[in-house]
Amino acid sequence: MRGTIPIQQVAAFAEGPFEGNPAAVCSLDAWLPDALLQSIAAENNLSETAFVVGADGCYGLRWFTPSCEVDLCGHATLAAAHVVFQQDQGQEQIRFESRSGDLLVRRRGERFTLDFPVQESRPCEAPPELNRALNLRTTACLQGVDLMAVVADEETVRRLQPDLAMVAALPGRGLIVTAPGINADFVSRFFAPGLGIDEDPVTGSAHCSLTPYWAEQLGRSCLDARQLSQRSGTLHCQLQGERVLITGRVMPFLSGVIHLADLTPLTAKQH
């Protein structure tokens, strides 16, 4: 296998340098074997690597963690949109075809808006393992794609040091912990050790569950959110029926190329 793949690393939902969630974006001429895409994502060792194929405002998009492919990723979609808009200067909207259906991204100056489906969560009894994993009692618990734990206040979210082995055994893709915010409408953190991501810095897809929950709690459809990881990030969310609009900024960090010829022997040996 010959040739190179352009790659950019950018931080999504960042308001300044060294904030937000880093993602790698690889622009492809055609889809490569899944095993090779997975190996590239593992080598990048970021929470997500996005792979993009297409042109003229319509693209295929796939997301890989270091250990598996996922159905939906917000921050890597924002990162991919930033890269695509660089290539398609005349476009103000692009469409990604993904495992979660068609996803639209609009450009508004320096900000990008994701148009994502709501991920419904239903109230449930908190699993006993959840309270032990967090070493506290939750005020509410909901189950959807992720398990969502609501706690008393922002400082509780900020100080969490969960038992990640216990978190990995909980139901759902990952664990969202959330509370009312002080300088934002709500705050959260996201843990997905079962996907190889102990803590995700800023998780766009989790806000497809967080936004409808807090919109109902606060009686407003437009909400400002802050994810309280070590890097932290800011998201502006709007509930529109069965869709969630998530707006944020992107900070570029590096660009380069992946040399396919050097990867082929290793990939063949491992897979």
- The catalytic residues are 48
Q: Which of 2, 9, 8 is nearest to 32 (CA)?
A: 2
Coil, helix or strand at residue 265: helix
Helix axes 34-44, 260-270, angle to 10 degrees: 110
- Give the helix/strand (H/E) hosting 8: strand 4-12
DSSP 144: S
CB 185 within 8 A of CB 218: yes
- What does 16-71 look like in DSSP terms, one character per residue? STT-SEEEEEEEESSPPPHHHHHHHHHHHTSS-EEEEEEETTEEEEEEE-SS-EES
Instruction: Find out whether 25 and 52 touch, Cβ atoms under 8 Å.
Output: yes
Sign of CA dihedral 56, 118, 40, 110: positive
